[in-house]
Amino acid sequence: MNNPTFGTKKEGVDYTARYGVYAVIPNETKDQIILVQAPNSAWFLPGGEIEAGEDHLKALSRELIEELGFTAEIGKYYGQADEYFYSSHRDTYFYNPAYIYEVTHFTSVGAPLEDFNHLAWFPIEEAKANLKRGSHKWGIEAWQKNHQ
C-alpha cells in the first residue's frame, strides 16, 4: 500500500529528510482537536521531528511535553503520510514522512516547555481547514473514520 503523498516533489531538487511523529488529540467529547500554532502563524498537529535514538513513541511523548505540557496515552497508529515542501524560514526543501497517532487520554502536567507556540482547540472541520500540512489533515480524516 502506498503512503498518501502531499505537496509536489520537484525534479532536480535535493530534499532533506525530516521524519516527524504527530498526534490527533481530541477533547473528551471528541468534537474538538488541539492544534499548535508556530511562530510563523502556521497551524500543525502537535508533534515534531524524531531525534536520533528515539522511536516514534519516545519522540511523540517528548514533543507533547515540549509543546503542550501533556503526558498522553497513545492509541491507534494511523500510518505514514509523506509530504514534500519548501521552508522559506529554513531555505530548505524537505521530504517529511509524518507518522500519525491518536491520543486516547492526556493529562496536563504543567506549562509547555516551548513558550513560543500558541495552542488552541478547534471544531474538527475548522481544525482541518486551519492546518498547513496535507499530511496532518489526512491524519485527522483517518481519526474521523474511526470515531464517527
Q: Is residue 104 part of a domain?
A: yes
Q: What pLDDT is attached to residue 89? A: 81
Look up the domain containing 97 and give its range.
Answer: 17-147
Q: Is residue 2 part of a domain?
A: no
- For cell 503523498, the residue is 5
Q: Is residue 1 part of a domain?
A: no
With beta carbons less than 8 A apart as the criterion, state whether 31 and 111 touch.
no
- pLDDT per residue over 100-131, tens digit each? 999 999 999 999 988 888 999 999 999 999 99
Q: Residue 122 class from Cβ within 10 Å (0-12 exposed, 13-18 middle, 19+ buried)?
A: middle
Q: What pLDDT is attached to residue 20? A: 97
Domain with 44 in it: what CATH number? 3.90.79.10
Q: What pLDDT is attached to residue 148? A: 66
Q: Is residue 4 part of a domain?
A: no
With beta carbons less than 8 A apart as the criterion, state whether 12 and 144 touch.
no
| Position 145 pLDDT exceeds 70 | yes
Q: Is residue 33 part of a domain?
A: yes
Q: What pLDDT is attached to residue 1? A: 58
Q: What pLDDT is attached to residue 26? A: 96
Q: How many domains does the chain have?
A: 1
Q: Is residue 23 part of a domain?
A: yes
Q: Is residue 6 part of a domain?
A: no
Q: What pLDDT is attached to residue 88? A: 86
Predicted model pTM: 0.93
- pLDDT per residue over 18-34, tens digit each? 999 999 999 999 999 99
For residue 64, report the phi and psi dihedrals to the nearest 5 degrees.
-65, -35
Q: What pLDDT is attached to residue 121? A: 97
Q: Is residue 40 part of a domain?
A: yes
- Mean pLDDT computed over 10-25: 96
